[in-house]
Amino acid sequence: MIEQQKQEPEMPYLTRIQVLGAMGATAIILLIVAKLWLYFGNFSLFSWNFNERDLLLGVGLGFAITALSGLTYRLWSSYRKSADFYLEVILKPLTLPDLIWLGLLPGLSEELLFRGVMLPALGFDDLAVIVSSLCFGVLHLSGSQQWPYVVWASIVGIILGYSALLTGNLLVPIAAHIMTNWISSYMWKIWELSKSKK
C-alpha cells in the first residue's frame, strides 16, 4: 500500500486533448521564445540545410539514442521508474496516429530553441552545449521524483548538441529527436497494447 502511494503521480492524469493541447502550446511557446531571442540577440540561427547524408545521420542517431535509452532503462531502476511515470502520463491517453505529433512538435520546436538558438547565442562551445542541454533536461521535469528522467534528457541534449556542432547542420539533431520520440513512443504503445490483451 505504501509503495503504491509513492508511485502515484504528483499531477493528475491528462486526457488525449489535454496532452495534445499541452504539446501544441509548448511548441508555440518555445517557437516564440526562439523568435524573440533571435530578434533581440546579436547572432543568427544555427545553420541547417536539407541533404540526404545528414538526414540519414540524424535518423541513425535517433536509433542509437533509442537503443541507449533502452539500455539505460534496463540497467538504472530509478530511471526506469521515472520514465514509466513520464511515458504513462504523456503516452497513455494518445492514439497511435497522435505519435506523429509527439515526434514532430517537440522535435522541431525544442531543437530550434535549444540547439538552433541557444548554441549560437551561448558561443558554439562546450559550455553552450552543457547549458543548453541542462535547460533541455529541466524542460522534461514533471515532478520532484522525476530527476532521473531530467538527467537522461540532459545527456540526450548533450548528444544532440554535439551532433549539431560536429556536423554544422541543425537537421541532424532535428531528425534524431523526431526519430527518438517516434520509435520510443511507438514501442511503448505497442508494449502497453500487448499487455492489455493478456
CA distances from 165 to 14, 43, 126, 154, 183 (A): 37, 16, 10, 16, 24
Check residue 12 and give its pLDDT: 64
Tell me what pLDDT residue 198 has: 64
Q: What share of the chain is helix, strand, coil (3-state, %, to 5)?
A: 80, 0, 20
From 110, 99, 157, 105, select the one nearest 130 (Cα to Cα): 157
Q: What is the pLDDT of residue 145?
A: 81
pLDDT in tens, the chain (198 residues): 444 444 444 556 789 999 999 999 999 999 999 999 999 999 999 999 999 999 999 999 999 999 999 999 999 999 999 998 888 888 999 999 999 999 999 999 999 999 999 999 999 999 999 999 999 999 998 777 889 999 999 999 999 999 999 999 999 999 999 999 999 999 999 988 887 776
CB contact at 8 A, 173 and 111:
yes
Please give the model's pTM, rounded to 2 decimal places.
0.91
pLDDT score at 15: 94
Q: Which pLDDT does position 10 carry in this prediction?
A: 52
- Give residue for cell 520532484: 144
